[in-house]
Structure 1
């Protein structure tokens, strides 16, 4: 099963979107942990 160029481009674009959302989610979790620890220990 050979992949067409369009399929490769779509796959690359999807991976880029996934990477972006993964970074955003990690950032939100980090901010949440920092805020929680500041509120807890502050």
Structure 2
């Protein structure tokens, strides 16, 4: 998982642990709620 966080074999499903924090997914609730909470 942390071997290649930028070269993921599945770009459609970014890791919610690493990429989820940097890449703000266009999710209606998880993205908006997890964005401010994870950025802290």
One fold, TM greater than 0.5?
A: no
Q: TM-score, normalised by structure 1?
A: 0.25
Question: Greater RCO between the two (CA within 8 Å, min separation 6)?
Answer: 2
Q: TM-score, normalised by structure 2?
A: 0.26
Q: Comparing both structures, which one devotes a greater share of its residues to helix? A: 1
